[in-house]
Amino acid sequence: MTIHDHPGKERIDTVRAFNRFYTRQIGLLDESLLKSPFSLTEARVLYELAHREGLVASDLVRDLGLDPGYVSRLLKKFEERGLVEREASEADARRSSIALTTAGREAFAPLNQDSHDQVRALLDRLPPADQKRLVKAMRTVQDLLGDRPEPKVPYILRPLQVGDIGWITRRQGMLYAEEYGWDETYEALVAEILGEFVKKFDPKWERAWIAEREGEVVGSVFVVRKSSEVAKLRLLYVEPSARGLGIGRRLVDECIAFARAKGYKTLTLWTNDILGSARRIYQAAGFKLVDEERHHSFGKDLVGQTWDLEL
């Protein structure tokens, strides 16, 4: 990492300001959590014990990032109050699993309900659209900073929906600017292509595929009719966060299968030679380079390429 890669002071200050704001919003600065007899850490340990079976002290140390001595003292305190009990682990008799007693569950229940009600009240202050924005932003923070498990279904492909055209135009414009330095004229071209696709869409001969992952658009591709014998593959893209899942190849395969099923003789596409990942997908699928031409577009000197696949 170079010195220029380090977060700037403004970004650091923004994160710290958010931390101060959120801890104030949910009352983490209070000596007890939600006016209960438990501190935040104690409440979190109770939560883990209420929702997971077979926990041992080392699990709490590892998963919550707590000091082993602190965890030992806390559990001893809970035992003395009759909130938890220990029993020898089936896997290792030297280790004791920890579980809430009936009294422990009764102590945790109102704390859990109060936490639920607090968050509900927080969300009720916002209209439904803003609630969705807030939850989406929180998921983004968790995705970027946490270790969320991979979804059971890596992605789905679906047809075009209202809102996709604007989203894809924006994302392609931003991505190609970030990765290749292209200017706003590329975004304008994407908008023009997709606008024409929607206005002249012929469902018998044309199709769009949208790749979606956990509710987010992560890729897309379009097939348009060029003539009775030639279809054109357009605007293949995959979000950086979803690369490596095979989405690009899957989208191209869908285009090929569709074009063949419709009786087209050739599937053609135009790209630029610097788009190496896409070009490798086309080559692997059997496309052949048929033409190259230097041009100046999107603020850059480029080499445009036409690739054909005989169907």
Tell whether pTM > 0.85. no
In a shared domain, residues 87 and 182: no
In a shared domain, residues 161 and 140: no
Tell me the CATH number at 279: 3.40.630.30
User: Over the chain, what is the mean pLDDT?
Assistant: 87
Question: Where is pLDDT greater, at 122 or 179?
Answer: 179
Q: Tell me how many domains the chain contains.
A: 2
In a shared domain, residues 132 and 166: no
Q: What are phi and psi of 74, to 5 degrees?
A: -65, -45
d(CA 145, CA 160): 31
User: Is residue 134 included in any domain, yes or no?
Assistant: yes
User: Which H or E element spans position 158?
Assistant: strand 156-158
In a shared domain, residues 195 and 161: yes
Per-residue model confidence (pLDDT) at position 53: 82
Question: Where is pLDDT greater, at 40 or 253?
Answer: 253
CB atoms within 10 A of CB 311: 17
Domain hosting 57: range is 31-145
User: Is residue 7 included in any domain, yes or no?
Assistant: no
Beta-carbon-side half-sphere exposure of residue 212 (alpha carbons within 13 Å): 14
Residue 2 pLDDT class (50, 70, 90 cuts): very low
d(CA 268, CA 281): 14
Q: Say if residue 299's pLDDT is above 90.
A: yes
User: Is residue 51 included in any domain, yes or no?
Assistant: yes
Handedness of CA 83, 85, 89, 94 (dihedral sign): positive
* Helices assigned H by DSSP within 26-67: 40-51, 57-64
Per-residue model confidence (pLDDT) at position 152: 59
Q: What is the mean pLDDT of residues 164-184?
A: 96
